[in-house]
Every structure is written in C-alpha cells, then in structure tokens.
Structure 1
Amino acid sequence: MNGKELLITLDLLQKEKHISRESIIEAIKDAVDKAYKREVDPEATIEVEFNEKTGEISVYNLLKVVKAEDLDDELTQLNLEEAQQLNHTLGLGDIYRRPIPFSEFSRIAALQVKQAIRQKLAEAQKVVLYDEWAPKIGTVINAQVEQVNPNGSILVDLGSSIFGFVTPGGSIPGEKIEPGKMYKFYVQDVPEVADGTIEIMAVARNPGERAKVAIRSNVSSIDPIGAIVGRKGARINAVSSQLKDERIDVVP
C-alpha cells in the first residue's frame, strides 16, 4: 500500500465509517513500530512519522549521544565524535534521529499496517452496530427467519448482513417457525455482560474447531459460567450452532 492508497483509505474510513483520522494514523505508526522491533531490533527506540499530505511513512532510530568509552550498544547509542560529524550541534545526552530505510522491513510493515486498518474498521463497525441496536433492546421488531436448527435455536436475519439468535425455548411454545417468513421478535442482550456484572477477559479461537472464552464475575453471588452458558447450555449452544458446532469452552 503506497502513500496515495493510504490517504485514500484514510479518507474513506473517516467519511464512510466515521473513524477519526488521528486514531487511524496512530494505529499505522504503532503497526510500523511493532514491525521494526519484530523484524530488526526488539530493543530499539524508534520514531515513526506519517506525512498527511503525501501518505509517506518515515522511520527514525533514536540514538543517545555518549562518550566513546561509554558506548556499549550501537543500536541505541552513538559516540560523540560521530554524532558531531553528522550534526555539529549535538552534545552528550542528546538524541540523534537516524533515518531507517523503509525497505529494510517494508513488507512486514505493510502487512502490519493493513492489519491495523482492518482492526480499526472492525472496531468502528462494532460501535455502529451497538449504536444502532442498543436503543432497540427491550422492544419488539419484525425480522425474517433464516434458519431453524434441530436444537430449537433460530437464526434471524436482521438486515445489512446482521443476524440475531433465538435460544432454544425462546419462541412461543407450539408456534410453528418457518425459514423465509417474517415474525415478531423481542430484542434482548446478555444482561450480566451488558451491565458489567460479568466481564469477558480474553478469547482464543481455532475457527471451526474450538474456542476458549475467559470470563470473570464482579459480583460474588453471580456464577459467571452459568450466566454465559445459560440454562441447559441454551445461550452458548445457540452461538456454537451458528459456528458449525464449534466447541466453546467457558472458563473463569
């Protein structure tokens, strides 16, 4: 992704996804920093600059100026004599910004930058989704049934590639639910997570096979696993069924 492409991407994300330009630039700079430390020197102190007019990225290695006899790490230090040859105004303790050729790690950096942009986009989509649906919690909506699963859970098409789930036993007893037809649904979330009683601490996943979700309860009287799993596994099984029966382990 060259400078021009980066600027176009920044403009699109800002205008269409309402992601602040500053947050994207910071994510890009952080991605380049991580790429350099991963591929070149994990102990280096670097500075990344992003030119908002050209989209070009500049990287500098920050070297502390020291006496020749005190030089013990050429990746973080620069002796005084050499420093003054580069810039006669530099003195002991000053920082010299040595330009780093971007070609040294540009491929890895480019991948990191793309990943950072994708992450920002995903975060923005979550915010948009929350802002759209949070006001609907506790209301009744019309939606089309996409799929009825053998365990009784229902996949509901909410539009705009968004789907909701009805857990087993969540529909009216005796009501016949058919895919492709419209029904009324009551919107709710997992209240214990929404109000902060239970926190999801980490998620590790091997897509299609297994996932592990670490949680904790902030209220001693609330069983976090029971709340997430649901009665007879209703809540967690509804999610698992939509992930092609991917096994989901919930641990405290």
Structure 2
Amino acid sequence: MAITSANQLELLQIADAVAREKMIDPGLVVEAMEDSLARAAKSRYGADMDVQVSIDRKTGQATFTRVRTVTDEDMLENEKAEMTAKAAADTVRSQGGDVFVTKRKIPIYGEEGKKIDEKEVRAFYLQKPSEKDAKRMEGVDQDTPPQEGDVLVDVIPPVDMGRIAAQSAKQVILQKVREAERDRQYEEFKDRAGTIINGLVKREEYGNVIIDIGAGEAVLRRNEKIGREAYRPGDRIRVYIKDVRREQRGPQIFLSRTAPEFMKKLFEMEVPEIYDGVIEIKACARDPGSRAKIAVISYDSSIDPVGACVGMRGSRVQAVVNELQGEKIDIIPWNEDAPTFLVNALQPAEVTKVVLDDENERIEVVVPEEQLSLAIGRRGQNVRLASQLTGLDIDILTEEEESKRRQAEFEVRTKLFMDTLDLDEFFAQLLVSEGFTNLEEVAYVEIDELLVIDGVDEDTANELQARARDYLEAQNAKALEAARANGLQDDLAGFEGLSPQMLEALTKDGVTTLEEFATCADWELAGGWTVVDGERQKDDGLLEPFGVTLEEAQDMIMTARVMLGWVTPEEAMGQTDDAPETEEAGA
C-alpha cells in the first residue's frame, strides 16, 4: 500500500476524525501516523537505519528521510545511522552546491523507547528541503563543515507497505492514540483528586465497582464502599475522588465513599457557610455506615456552627445522612483546649474529670459508673471516634477505679518517704497530701513550701532536706560506681546534663563513651511512638524513665557532636530546629 496523492488528504481526514472521537489533539494522531510509517520503512530499509517521516499538516504529503548523526570516530557503533565528521564532510563535498544547511529538532528517547525531549541541531539536507525546513536556513552557518552533533538528511523513496507492514502500522497508530487518550484522561483528573463526582455504575468485579465518570472509568474498591450498599448496573452514584495515579496500564482513578473527606465535602455542598469559609470543619472521624463525629468552628461570633450544620429542622444534616445511607452524625463544637474538646467529643456521655498527658499524647477520662457504657459506646465505637477526632489515646475510668488508683499512688509515695527519710506514716502522708511526689522535690524545694505543713518548723524542714539530700547523694554515688563498673569513660561522665542514674542506664546498654552517645538517635534516648500496620507501638528510651523529652535528647546529642567536632554550633542549631516533631520519630 503506497501513499499516493489520492489518499494523502485522506490521512489528515482520518487523523481529524480519530481526534474528535477520542477527544485528543489531531497533531498527536498525525505524529502517531508518522511513527507508524517510519516503523514500516525501517522494516523495508533495515532496522539499523534512522528513518523519519514527516506529514505535511496542510497537504497530507508524507516525506521519508534518512537521518545520520555525526559522531566521534571512537564512539561510532551504527554505521547506517551514524558517521564520522570526515565521512560527513566528504559526503557534503560530493553533493557540490546542492546541500542546504538548516536547523532541525531531533527527538531524544528514554530507556523505554519513549520520547522524553528533543534538541535542535544543524541539519545538512542532501536534497532540497521542504518549504517548512527551508525557512529555518536563516542565520544558520552554511560554510562550516559538519561537526559532531550535526545530522545529515537525505530523502528516500516512500515505502510500498504490504499487508503485514500495514497491520503493524495500524497497531502503532492505535497504541499511540491510546497513550494520548490516557494522558488526556490523567491530565483531566489529576487536579480533581479531593473532589466529589457523579458517576454511573457499569459493573462489579470481585467486589470492586467499576464506575463510568464520563471521560473514562474509575474504581470504587470494596473496602471504600459503605457496608450495606449494593449497586446495580445503571445506578447513579456520588463518590469522592481519593487518588489519581499514572500507571503502566493507564491512569487509575480510585474512588471512596468511606473517606472522612467525603463527608466534609458533602457538608460543604449542603452548608453555604462552610463553602464560604465562615465555618470550618476542623476534624472528622467516621465508622462508615454506622456513626460519625465532626468538629466545627465558626469564625463569625454571630453564627452558631453546630446549628448552621444541622439546619432548619435538621434539613442540612439529614441530606448528608441520606447520602450516607443513614449514618448517624454527631456535630460538636471545636475547642483549642484539648480536655474541653474531648468532653465535647465524648457526647452524649457526661465526663467528671479529664487528666491530660501532653508528653505521651494520652488522656484519662473519669466518668460516673452509670455513664461508662455510654462513653465507650457499642463495641467501643464512641471512644474510638473521639480518639480519632482528638488525635489522643483515651483511657476511660469510672470514679471508683480512679479513686482506687489514686489511693494506690498515695500509698506508694507514702512508703517511699517512710523508707528513705525514716519518717512515720502520718508525717509521710502529710508530705504526699501537700503534693510532694519524689525526693528531689523535698531536697531542693524552697524551705517556705515545707513550713506550710502543719507541725513543721524551720529545724524540722532543714532536717527533712538534709536527710533527702544525703539519701540522693548516696544513690548517686552508688549509681556512678555501677556505671564505672560497666565501663563508663571520663568524657561521658563529665558530660553536663547526665545524672549518675542516667549514666548507669546508658552504660547498661553499652553506651560508655561520648562518641557512642553522640551516635544515638533522639528516640533511642527519649522513646517515641511508631505506627506499624496502622497501630501505634511504644519505643522505650534509655533515658525515658528520667523524664527526658525528645527535644532535650536532640539538644544533648547535638551538644555531644559539637564537643567532638563533628558539626559546628551553627549546624547543630539548624539540625535541631529542623528536627521533626512527630509521633513517628522513633520509626
């Protein structure tokens, strides 16, 4: 099948028809045709030849050219597509005055054979170039002989394609068109991730629902479906675009109806104040198909955020509930104060007391006995959603359990003071009742804080502090002796900020020198949390029992590195400032 003048314009007509049908650029279809004709020509002239085809966008005329690149003699590998500068100069010289030097863009291909870029070079045409190529002659040096990087171009006769070559060309065109269609689909949807779209159910495959979204198909995985929902072909469905990925088989669009963001977008559609930014959904937690909690805040004091989201007679929230197949939604006010926010998040349960542990991101909630089941919820649903909403681990205790625990702590501290300070039980209980929890507080507190205790005069206070300091000094000496026995070196022993007990703990784990200490990670010293398979796991730190935080551990490690000359003080300051403050610091 030769390309004659009779079917030259037909090429452009076919390209235009295919482009309209696939909604892609007609130029991409023409480029696919050029590639297919070039491949057919290579099968005729030899695969080693660099054959390129150019189709005139106005007349449809296809020009077949052979391109040879001028390269260094030592780099010459393919004599049919490359030539040395001397051979190129001889070829040009043999043509006499018929050589036209213009500019030409040649493609650069990646490892997978896909065009990734192009570069402009001097092109020596051994026959008269086309009108389009001839226009590029202006400003191009016509006298300098071919140099490395230039190309020689000569026109070759068009190929007469047989049935096999024509079929191969057809496959190339289909492949290129398919790639262009995929690229168009990806470009269309890549910026729509995080939005809601309406689609039409086409079919179900292994529990996954394939949805027609107009310009292609998308996948609603079975773990992204609300449990009770069932779909039939032809059903209209509203979904959230969770992710758009460019993959080898084409763009993959993943949808969701269980994502918390889906609920946020639904409220944004139903509540104008959220769309306008007057009200913001600060947090959202869902048990898809069953129950959800959202926390809202209003930036206009005259607008009630909860009331605005509920709507007149519950019309706004009911529209969202209907879309989510009856999922119950608790709308609660956001509060910067974590304990107050948690009390709101645990509604409808009533909370007696909240104790927040900022360091470990845990919170203890005390509720009346009759409110315990309500606070926990069916299968732990209420407390689980409240935990997701606040980002804190929640321990729920009854008043009786909390009282027993406080009593146990009281007894432990009382016994500590009795054993270490040689006090009777009554006097030890007085210290605990006044808020003293350890010996350091007794030893180094201002003496006036001891004098407020009933029955304690200045002499008694001084005696208490003397006993506490003597005991601590004895413990420090014992710990330092144990650390020395474990191999403690002087450079680490003299490091400021490490107590004898800390040195003992470090040396037990094999950290005996300042250099070994400087190689530690902050989470190895202070501990942290690692998320594994969605579960938070605790990493114990060597100095965690002594209350060392991640920030303090970072400062100590950087100080040690500065002392060793590994980093400058400025570098240490920058690394400390940039350190991540995440619960995955121990990962």
| Higher RCO (C-alpha 8 Å, min separation 6) | 1
Partner residue, 1:215? none
1:210-252: CA deviations, max 9, x gaps?
xxxxxxxxxxxxxxxxxxxxx9xxxxxxxxxxxxxxxxxxxxx
Q: CA deviation at 1:35?
A: 2.0
Out of 20, 38, 44, the position equivalent to 1:39 is 44
Partner SS state of residue 44, structure 1? coil
| Cα 1:158/1:39, change in 2 over 3 Å | same
Contact 2:202/2:211 (CA < 8 Å) preserved in 1? Answer: yes
Out of 170, 176, 196, the position equivalent to 1:114 is 170
Indicate yes or no: 2:156 matched with 1:99: yes
Q: Which structure 1 segments of 5+ residues have no match?
A: 65-72, 195-199, 204-230, 232-252
Structure 2 letter corresponding to 1:178: Y
Out of 159, 184, 197, the position equivalent to 1:128 is 184
Structure 2 letter corresponding to 1:7: L
Distance in 2 (alpha carbons) for counterparts of 1:144 and 1:63: 53
Partner residue, 1:154? 209
| Cα 1:24/1:142, change in 2 over 3 Å | closer
Indicate the structure with greater helix content: 2
Q: CA deviation at 1:88?
A: 6.1
1:156-212: CA deviations, max 9, x gaps?
33345x332222222123x1313143333222126xx56xxxxx5x67xxxxxxxxx
State how many pairs are aligned. Answer: 178
Partner SS state of residue 129, structure 1? helix
Partner residue, 2:15? 10
Indicate yes or no: 2:146 matched with 1:141: no
Contact 2:211/2:218 (CA < 8 Å) preserved in 1? Answer: yes
Partner residue, 1:187? 241
Give the structure-2-normalised TM-score: 0.25
Partner residue, 2:451? none
Partner residue, 1:210? none
Partner residue, 1:176? 229
Contact 2:34/2:53 (CA < 8 Å) preserved in 1? Answer: yes
Contact 2:19/2:26 (CA < 8 Å) preserved in 1? Answer: yes
Partner residue, 2:55? 50
Structure 2 letter corresponding to 1:164: A
| Cα 1:118/1:172, change in 2 over 3 Å | same
Contact 1:58/1:102 (CA < 8 Å) preserved in 2? Answer: no
Asked which structure has the greater CA Rg, the reply is 2
| Cα 1:19/1:109, change in 2 over 3 Å | farther
| Cα 1:101/1:15, change in 2 over 3 Å | closer
1:19-53: CA deviations, max 9, x gaps?
152x4444433332222222332233445343334
Contact 1:35/1:108 (CA < 8 Å) preserved in 2? Answer: no
Structure 2 letter corresponding to 1:133: F
Indicate the structure with greater strand content: 1
| Cα 1:95/1:39, change in 2 over 3 Å | same
Q: CA deviation at 1:122?
A: 2.0
1:38-94: CA deviations, max 9, x gaps?
233223344534333431323245699xxxxxxxx99999xx9xx97xx66469x99
Distance in 2 (alpha carbons) for counterparts of 1:184 and 1:126: 23
Contact 2:199/2:236 (CA < 8 Å) preserved in 1? Answer: yes
| Cα 1:44/1:153, change in 2 over 3 Å | closer
Distance in 2 (alpha carbons) for counterparts of 1:133 and 1:95: 47
Distance in 2 (alpha carbons) for counterparts of 1:172 and 1:107: 53
Partner SS state of residue 138, structure 1? coil
Distance in 2 (alpha carbons) for counterparts of 1:176 and 1:15: 38
| Cα 1:112/1:53, change in 2 over 3 Å | farther
Contact 1:13/1:19 (CA < 8 Å) preserved in 2? Answer: no
Partner SS state of residue 188, structure 1? strand
| Cα 1:3/1:144, change in 2 over 3 Å | same
Distance in 2 (alpha carbons) for counterparts of 1:94 and 1:152: 61
Contact 1:61/1:100 (CA < 8 Å) preserved in 2? Answer: no
Out of 1, 19, 22, the position equivalent to 2:25 is 19
Distance in 2 (alpha carbons) for counterparts of 1:101 and 1:143: 48
| Cα 1:90/1:107, change in 2 over 3 Å | farther
Partner residue, 2:471? none
1:118-177: CA deviations, max 9, x gaps?
33432332233234433432233333433345x4322333345x332222222123x131
Partner SS state of residue 210, structure 2? strand
Give the structure-1-normalised TM-score: 0.51
Out of 220, 231, 235, the position equivalent to 1:166 is 220
Distance in 2 (alpha carbons) for counterparts of 1:168 and 1:63: 55
Distance in 2 (alpha carbons) for counterparts of 1:94 and 1:143: 54
Structure 2 letter corresponding to 1:40: Y
Distance in 1 (alpha carbons) for counterparts of 2:219 and 2:29: 33
